[in-house]
Amino acid sequence: MILSKLKDFFSPVNNYADQRSYRRMIMTNFILVAILVSTFIFFFLNIYIAEYTTASMDLMGFVISAYAIYQLKTHHNLEKVSLITTISFTLFFIAFVYLKGNDHFGLIWSIYVPIIAFVLNSKKIGFYVSLTFYIIAYTLAYINIGVWSDGAWTGYDFLRFFFASNILVYMLYMHERSLEISDFILKEVREKELAYIEQLRQLSITDSLTKLYNRHYFNEFMPKLISLAKRKKQAITFFILDVDSFKAYNDYYGHIAGDKALVAIAETVIKHIQREDDFTFRFGGEEFGGVMLSDTPEETLEHVQQLCSLVEDLKIEHKASPTSKYLTISVGVISVPYQQSLSIEQMYLHADQELYKVKNNGRNHCSHLAIKS
């Protein structure tokens, strides 16, 4: 139990969608814990050596970091915690430089200001916080040349401090800039990958010629649609559509013309069967299918029946057809109420039987079977 609590305390909450925010969350958590532990230790060390002013500053740092960790763990407000931490410890180190100067080379602790400012915030905020801090720190350091005795503070030491701190700020800025660029590039790459994966997925579930869903997707999708129909308490209307005398059409006009005719029929089906719960498929060759959910299967049947006239109205010439001078279709339909539990195979078989009734009775019309509830 204790180890679990410690793990929760030292590890960040993973509730950020983007990588950059999560990285900031990890670093903020780590820095706050490091400050909490170090200020706790230095508080007692400074009490021991009778540095009561420094000890009180350590205590203040401990309280601030403890409050920031509490906010981070309970409210997960990264922006608020980052701002509180940055402002508080910038003021903390300004006070430290003012009160302690370079005693025991204490000025070296000021390197934590730009680190905290850049890591916990954007590079813009990090730069401005660092600039503000160092303007004050440089001023204090310059006017105390020859005054800060401990650490032998000279003009040369000031220049070394000046250039070292500027190099540090520059390196931190460029580091954050490089992370920003790499995150942007990585985001672009991921977006392209997702688009490519989606493209591959679409290719795997659609027919390349007609752009209708394919038989594979029909088999995969139908169980979900049957479950959806039961939840919505709607009937399923399933139809199989077959192009009449299509082999004769291909033999007479050629396969290129046949492909064009299939595309035209598919476009007609897509335009006509287009409600939210309507789905259309190409099962192979000249055979198409469709699934529709509705509260009124009778009206849905009438809607499907209109496909016969719509396809004939395309006026695609078919001189080799015994049915019509134009290309026509035959349709077999089955309506299943949500109370019934027919399998995909059973629905397909019933619709196929209705289709053959049409084929045996002159083609170019629709036959329907209604399963009773």
Please identify every residue annotated as catalytic.
286
Amino acid at 354: E
Taking the C-alpha atoms of residue 179 and residue 18, their distance in angstroms, rounded to an integer, is 13
Q: How many CB atoms lie within 10 A of CB 338?
A: 17
- Residue indicated by tokens 């309507």: 278
Structure tokens at 230: 């039961």
Q: Which long-range contacts (CB under 8 A, 24 or more apart) does 88-91 make?
A: 88/61, 88/64, 89/35, 89/61, 89/64, 89/113, 89/116, 90/116, 90/117, 90/129, 90/132, 90/133
d(CA 226, CA 6): 49
Q: Where are the beta strands (DSSP E) in 72-224?
A: 213-214
Distance CA 342, CA 215 (A): 19
Distance CA 93, CA 99 (A): 10
